Chain A
C-alpha cells in the first residue's frame, strides 16, 4: 500500500508560490558542503527544504554545525559559519529517530516530500529503517538521492571519504601541481563543492523526469566518479593513445598544452605574496605583451611565434618575472586588459570580496538574518534569472528551530501534541 499524499502532482507536493522550484518539498538529511551545497541551490530557488536533525547530539552529524569561523567568537552548534553559509533558506527540525514516535513523524514528512536527500556513508539511512525499499513504499513516486564518496556498490562501498580523498582518488589532486614536485592538490574541497553540484543536478534531472512521467527513482551518486569525469581529455589520451598522465613533464603546473599557449603562467609581483596570471593566446597577444613590456629582449624574433615561445618557456617565464616583480599586480592586470590580453591578479579574499566590481555588481555576497548570529554575509549564487531569480535572506536554521512550525503547518499537530512530543524527547 502506498501512503502517498493525494494533494501532490507531478510538479511536486508543495503549493506553487511563484518561485522556480516552489512546488518541490525536500526531506533533507544532507550535511557538510557535499550534501548541503546541493539543497542550498534548490532552497534559494524556492524549494521547501526541511533539514532533519538529531536532537540527542545537537545535529552534530553535520560537523560544520560547530566548526569555525565564528561571529564574535560565539561557539556552539548554532554558530558554525560554514554551516550557516551552506544552509541558508532551509528550515530545520530536530527529530529523535531512536524513538518509534520519531520514526512515525519522519514517515509522515517523507509521505509529503518529493525528494529524500542524504550524503551519509553508504547504508546509514537503511540502518535506520528508511532505505530505498521503505521510501518507495511510503511514496511510490519518491526521488531518493544518496551521495557518498564511492557510491553504494563496488569494492570500496564501505570506505569513507571527504573532499581531499575524493580529489586524490579521482585524479584531480594529481593534475594540480608542478612537474618534479609532489602534488599541490586543491587547497579546499573542490569535490565537496562539485559533488554538491552533481547532487543538485541529479535531483533536478530526477524532478524533470518525474514531472514528465510521474516516476520516481533512487539516484546513486559517487562523488569520486563525478570527479573522474572532470579530466576527460587526459583519459582519452590514455584510452586512445596509451599515453598516461603520469609521465615526464606532467602535471603542467600553470602552463597550457591544450590549447598551447606561452607565456601562460602566474608571475611574482611587488608586494607580499602577490602574483599575476597572464595567458598569451596567440601571436597577436604576444605582440601586445611585447609592446607593453617595452624592453629590448621582448622584441627578439624568437618570441614572435608560438613555436619559439614554447621552445624556451623557462627562459621566457624568467624574463616575464623579472619584469613583473617590481610591479603592482593590479597595475599589470589593468594594462594587459586594456591591451586586450587575458590577465588577472591572483586575488586574495578581501580583494575579490570587497574591491571587485565583478562580484559586487553581481550581488554575489548577500546578507542573511540568522536567529543567533545576526546579520551575516554568505556566498550567493553565480546566476541571475530574469523571472524567477534566487533569494537568499534567511540564515541557516538553529538546531530544531522550525520543529513546531513544520509539524504544525505540514502535519497539522496542535499545541498539546507538540508539548507532549517535546516532553517525551521525540523532538
Chain B
C-alpha cells in the first residue's frame, strides 16, 4: 500500500494546481478531479497525441492517478453534490480566485459545517490575504515578479532575462502546496484536527531564488544574471562549452586534490591533447604538492597556474569530445561536470533507464501503453505508482456519486 491510500482528495480543476493533485495521486491518494462542464481548460493545451486536439499530452501528464467528475458549481444541486463529496473527503485542494468559493457558499467556513476536520489547501497567485490577491497572473508573470527570472539569462544584458521552461512557477507553488497538505495530514493523524492553508505562488517563487534573496537580505547586494551559471553580485568566469557533437557541457568544479590535478593531466595525455595546451605542465606539477585549495589562488603562483590550467584543460577536452564522453570521463576521475541534455535525452539516458525511471502506463483506448516520467522518489514500503491514466471528462461521475445517492448527470450541467 502507498502512503496516502485511504485518503480522499478533492481537487477543483485548475491548471495551476494540477501538479499538486498528481503528486498525491501517484502516492496512493484517491484524487477526485472536479471539472466544470466542458472540462478543465488544460484539456486543450498542446502538445497532443498524434496531434489530434482531443488528446492533450499536457493534460495526460498532469492528471495521472485521478478520477474525474463534472460539476457546474454555478448551479445549486451541483453545489449540494460538492458538499456531499467534501463530506467523504480528507483534503480539498484548489486555486480559485479569492472570493469565488465564498460567493458560492463553498469556502472553508462553509465546508467545515459538513466536514469539521477538513484540510483545505488554497493555492493562489498572491495568497488569499494580500493587497495583490486579485491580480491576474500566469507562470511567466509569477516568475518575473517573484524573483527567479531576474537571475536567469545571458551575460549579454541586451538580451532579456529568461523564464525557465516547463511551468516551474506553477510547479514550485504545487510543491509547497503538497508539503503543506502532508504536514496538515500528519497533524490530523495526531490530533484529528483539520485546518485552512493559504499558499501564495508569488511567495513560493520569492523564497526559491537561493542567493538572490539572501545576498540582499544580508549584504544588501543585488546579484547579476550570467549565462548558465549562478547569478552573483559580480561577473564570474563562463562554465558552458560547446562539445564536438554540438551539445553543451557545463564544466562545474575543478579538481580538489593534488591527485585530481594529476588525473586530469593523465586524461589529457590519453586523449593526445597535451601538446595543444602547454600550460598542462602545471597540472603535472600540482600532483606532487601536499595540498591544493581555492584559498591559495592569487597567493601562490603555482596554485593559481594549476587552477587556470585545469579550466583550460577541461574546456579543451570538452571541445574535443562528445558531451557524453566528457561527462563520463570527467566524473570517472572525480571531477563534477555535466552534459546539458534535452528532456528526451535525459529520459533515455542509460542511468535513469537502469534505475527504472521511465514507466509504462496503460491506456485502454490505445494499442500500446505510453511511457511516462516515473518516480521522483523511491519509497519501497509505500511505492510511488501511476494508478491510472488521466481521466476522461466525467468518466467517474457515476461510480463516485451513486454511493452518495446523487445522479451524476443531473449535477453535471445546469438545466
Bound Cα distance A186, B52 (Å): 33
Q: DSSP majority for the B interface?
A: mixed
Residue of A nearest to B336 (CB): A160
Q: Tell me if A201 counts as interface (CB < 8 A to partner B).
A: yes
CB atoms of B144 and A346 under 8 A apart? yes
Q: Which of B75-83, B246-254, B300-308, B392-400 contacts A (4 or more CB under 8 A)?
A: B246-254
CB atoms of A168 and B341 under 8 A apart? yes
Q: Mark B171-193, 1 if CB is under 8 A from A, else 0.
A: 11101111110111111011101
CB atoms of A238 and B343 under 8 A apart? yes
Bound Cα distance A220, B141 (Å): 35
Q: Tell me if B257 counts as interface (CB < 8 A to partner A).
A: no
Q: Which of B65-73, B98-106, B220-228, B310-318 contacts A (4 or more CB under 8 A)?
A: B220-228
- Residues of B within 8 Å of A246, CB to CB, are 342, 344-345
Least distance between A368 CB and chain B CB atoms (Å): 11
Bound Cα distance A281, B213 (Å): 30
CB atoms of B141 and A279 under 8 A apart? yes
* Of B47, B50, B145, B375, most A-chain CB atoms within 10 Å: B145
- Residues of A within 8 Å of B334, CB to CB, are 160
Bound Cα distance A209, B215 (Å): 39
Least distance between A395 CB and chain B CB atoms (Å): 12
- Residues of B within 8 Å of A127, CB to CB, are none
Task: Indicate whether A225 sits within 8 Å of B375 (C-beta atoms), given known contacts A160-B334, A164-B338, A358-B202.
Answer: yes
Least distance between B160 CB and chain A CB atoms (Å): 4
CB atoms of B175 and A197 under 8 A apart? yes
Q: Mark B238-271, 1 if CB is under 8 A from A, else 0.
A: 0110100000111011000000000000000000
Task: Indicate whether A217 sits within 8 Å of B218 (C-beta atoms), given known contacts A208-B182, A266-B163.
Answer: no
CB atoms of A345 and B145 under 8 A apart? yes
Bound Cα distance A170, B206 (Å): 23
- Residues of B within 8 Å of A412, CB to CB, are none
CB atoms of A235 and B154 under 8 A apart? no
Least distance between A402 CB and chain B CB atoms (Å): 23
* Of A33, A235, A251, A349, most B-chain CB atoms within 10 Å: A349
Contact of A353 among B2, B211, B216, B357 (CB under 8 A): B216
Q: Tell me if B279 counts as interface (CB < 8 A to partner A).
A: no
* Of A205, A333, A340, most B-chain CB atoms within 10 Å: A205
Q: Mark B198-231, 1 if CB is under 8 A from A, else 0.
A: 1111111011111111111111111101111111
Bound Cα distance A212, B380 (Å): 15
Q: Tell me if B272 counts as interface (CB < 8 A to partner A).
A: no
Contact of A231 among B108, B127, B165 (CB under 8 A): B165
Bound Cα distance A258, B56 (Å): 10
Task: Indicate whether A337 sits within 8 Å of B370 (C-beta atoms), given known contacts A171-B343, A184-B162, A349-B216.
Answer: no
Least distance between A85 CB and chain B CB atoms (Å): 5
Task: Indicate whether A241 sits within 8 Å of B190 (C-beta atoms), given known contacts A190-B208, A383-B177, A385-B180.
Answer: no
CB atoms of B166 and A172 under 8 A apart? yes
Q: Tell me if A254 counts as interface (CB < 8 A to partner B).
A: yes
Bound Cα distance A240, B47 (Å): 10
- Residues of A within 8 Å of B249, CB to CB, are 168
List 10 extra interface pairs beyond A176-B162, A352-B145, A379-B214, CB under 8 A: A41-B179, A69-B221, A81-B217, A154-B352, A225-B377, A240-B370, A254-B163, A276-B144, A361-B131, A384-B127
Q: Which 7 A-B pairs have the closest CB atoms?
A: A344-B145, A187-B151, A175-B165, A171-B343, A382-B203, A168-B338, A277-B144
